Amino acid sequence: MSGFYVHVPFCKKKCSYCDFHFSTRFEGYREEMIASIGQEIIERKGEYPSPLKSIYFGGGTPSLLTSKELSFLIKTIQENYIIDSSVEVTLEANPEDVSLENLLLWANIGFNRLSVGLQSFKGIDLKWMNRGHSAQEALSCIGLAKSAGFNDISVDLMYGLPGLKKEEWVTHLKTVINAGVSHVSAYCLTVEKGTLLSAEVKKGKRSIPEDDIIEEQYLLLVSFLKENGFDQYEVSNFAKKERYSKHNSSYWKGISYIGVGPSAHSFKEGYRRWNVSNNSLYIKAFKEKKLYHEEEFLSHEEKWNELFLTGLRTKWGVSKSQITSFGGLTKKERAVLNQYILDGKLEEGPTQIVLSDSGFLFADAIAKDFFRVS
């Protein structure tokens, strides 16, 4: 079984914090891009284990595609891959694209899950972020999606934003809970190199909150969502009644996934490939029948590091049987583990090693302490 990811590399506007792969000038080659992604879907059939248990359209902004373009891509997948009967089919949607008309079209094409990028309900945040939607649109799109029959709705929110007060953060969380979403992804704002935000922070035009404020907002997030029946199944991801994202879970559980479109990554049993992050080179490669990706095979040590990096981010932790399959912990690693247990950051169960609530905040740093060098 595998997950399937389609990267749509178009956005209407450039958000000031974002360094994902996308272009805002795409009308001239839009059709060629969709045709090339379609070609990649066909070319790569049979490469990854069947059936597909999740299909995820991400970006960029897949919700700006027309229903004809979305149907074409979904049909191409359906005609070329074996698909599980309970497949999760997610569309990442920006609030400004969420209308009743679009929602009904998306449901009709086969999408059964929406992931909506709300980010914040504060008008001034949306303005400096250069988002394409208003606070009102962020508020109303969940209700619209529910009225169109979508039951699986996830929202993306951000904390650690300049000037975000703790009371405001709790209000944002309350708002999405009251709207009845089943899944929340909450990310701490990261200042990525080369973004407008990074330049503004350097110039002192915008300032990122201190670590203790970020930690306070993170702990509020965890406790507030838990009190309201959400289960934290990954550092940044929370779901009600086990409605975990099947697709995102594949990334953390080491399940194979195929990624098509510029910049998309694929993974299968220690093999990783990534497509070129350039729209014109991607299209050109299909015209000239050239390679459009790079690849690597993970070494034994890299597989071990991956086990800790992905496993520790989840509530399932790192399984002890997998540790045994690598020959077990070394003396030094055992000592590191014992110290983290004493510090209350890691817990050792009969079958796995998991992070405690306070440890979750330091997941990546803790994982790195178990890394092996080749």
Which residues bind to ligand SF4, rule: CB under 6 A?
A: 11, 14-15, 18, 20, 22, 59-61, 94, 117
Nearest to 188 by CA among 206, 210, 204, 171: 210
Q: Which two tokens stand for residue 360?
A: 């979750």
Q: Which of 9, 117, 261, 311 is close enough to bind ligand SAM by CB under 6 A?
A: 117
Shortest Cβ distance from residue 174 to ligand SAM (Å)? 19
Q: Give the count of beta carbons closer than 10 Å to the beta carbon of residue 55.
A: 28
CA angle 118, 122, 126 (to 5 degrees): 60
Of 17 and 340, which CB lies nearer to ligand SAM in the complex structure?
17
Choose the contact partner of 14 out of ligand SAM, ligand SF4, none; CB within 5 to 8 A by kind: ligand SF4
Of 8 and 312, which CB lies nearer to ligand SF4 in the complex structure?
8
Q: Which of 40, 69, 88, 92 is close enough to bind ligand SAM by CB under 6 A?
A: 92
Of 80 and 140, which CB lies nearer to ligand SAM in the complex structure?
140
Q: Give the count of beta carbons closer than 10 Å to the beta carbon of residue 44.
A: 16
> Would you give the end-to-end CA distance of the chain in angstroms?
30
Mark out the alpha helices in 183-256 (DSSP H runs).
196-203, 211-227, 246-253
Which 3 state secondary structure label does DSSP give 83?
strand
Q: Which two tokens stand for residue 42?
A: 């066909």
Shortest Cβ distance from residue 67 to ligand SAM (Å)? 18
Of 15 and 138, which CB lies nearer to ligand SF4 in the complex structure?
15
Residues 326-365, interacting with ligand SAM (CB under 6 A): none
Count, residues near ligand SAM per rule CB under 6 A: 15
Choose the contact partner of 298 out of ligand SF4, ligand SAM, none; CB within 5 to 8 A by kind: none
Shortest Cβ distance from residue 85 to ligand SF4 (Å)? 31
Choose the contact partner of 259 out of ligand SAM, ligand SF4, none; CB within 5 to 8 A by kind: none
Q: Give the count of beta carbons closer than 10 Å to the beta carbon of residue 374.
A: 9
* Backbone angle region of 18, left / alpha / beta, with phi > 0 → left and psi within -120 to 50 → alpha: beta
Shortest Cβ distance from residue 59 to ligand SAM (Å)? 5
Interface with ligand SAM, residue 139, by CB under 6 A: no
Number of H helices, E strands in the chain: 15, 15
Of 132 and 317, which CB lies nearer to ligand SAM in the complex structure?
132
Of 21 and 53, which CB lies nearer to ligand SF4 in the complex structure?
21
User: Within 13 Å, how many C-alpha atoms sit on residue 161's CB side?
Assistant: 24
Choose the contact partner of 192 out of ligand SAM, ligand SF4, none; CB within 5 to 8 A by kind: ligand SAM
Interface with ligand SAM, residue 187, by CB under 6 A: yes
Q: Which two tokens stand for residue 203?
A: 């110039």
Choose the contact partner of 190 out of ligand SF4, ligand SAM, none; CB within 5 to 8 A by kind: ligand SAM
Contacts 24+ apart (CB under 8 A), 273-280: 275/7, 275/40, 277/21, 279/9, 279/23, 279/26, 279/29, 279/33, 280/29
x-or-dash string of contact with ligand SAM, 11-40, rule CB under 6 A: ------xx-x--------------------
